[in-house]
Amino acid sequence: MNAPHTPSAAASVAASASKVVPCKLAHYVIRAKRFQDMLAWYRKVFHLQTSFEAPVIAFLTYDDEHHRIAFLNTAHLPAPDTMRTGIDHIAFTYESLPDLLHTWERLKAEGITPFWCINHGMSTSMYYRDPDGNEIELQVDNFPSMDECKAWFASEAFAANPIGVDFNPEMLLAKLRSGVPATELVKQGAAPVPKDQQHVFTTLPPPPG
């Protein structure tokens, strides 16, 4: 009697290859010119614990992953500049608006402040620069479900303004503490910034043509 046919491992992999995606974003690695300053800054911002540190490289984490961020000591190389191609920024999502605003307040007391606070519609975001000038976004999703966040991209509001509306984090925190629900504070315009104080989104020259 012939044995029942079972697909080979190779055939199974081939059949599902078009659906295979990473199960998580594991970590990223930064080339750090100001190595020790970078380690100190990221430890403050993310409460990072050190998995391993040596003069040439360090591995750090804020959760059960063995490392979320690593740093290579590149003090001998030129510093990064804004007029270049490459990654623009890395974003980290917090559980709630109160968590995000608590982090803003904690970092402000450490002398670490965002250069831009903006409500993108689907997220409330704060942008920081680390000691080497890399941009880090701390954010919270503005909708209770990811489907609703995704729907924002298909909305007329997003098409009319795909960047967002600046906000004042101090005003937002004061409103939260006064009892205004977070569901109201994640709406654009909840803590307006005067037009002459709004951040210039980009100074990069436009692409040719």
Model pLDDT, residue 90: 96
Residue 66 domain flag: yes
Model pLDDT, residue 1: 46
Tally of structural domains, the chain: 2
Q: Which domain holds residue 58?
A: 25-76
User: Which of 76, 98, 115 corresponds to the end of one domain?
Assistant: 76
Q: Give the integer Cα–Cα distance in Å for 132 and 44.
A: 15
CATH number of the domain that residue 40 is part of = 3.30.720.120
Token digits of residue 162: 């795909």
The verdict on 63 and 94 lying in the same domain is no
Model pLDDT, residue 201: 87
Q: Going residue by residue through the chain (209 aa), what tens digit of pLDDT does each one get? A: 455 555 566 655 555 567 898 999 999 999 999 999 999 999 999 999 999 999 999 999 999 999 999 999 999 999 888 888 889 999 999 999 999 999 999 999 999 999 999 999 999 999 999 999 999 999 999 999 999 999 999 999 999 999 999 999 999 999 999 999 999 999 999 999 999 999 998 888 888 87
Q: Is 30 exposed, middle or buried (0-12, 13-18, 19+ CB in 10 A)?
A: buried
The verdict on 112 and 52 lying in the same domain is no
β-strand pairing of 165-166 with 116-119: antiparallel
- Residues in contact with 93: Cβ distance below 8 Å, sequence separation at least 6, in sequence order: 123, 139, 140, 141
Model pLDDT, residue 16: 58
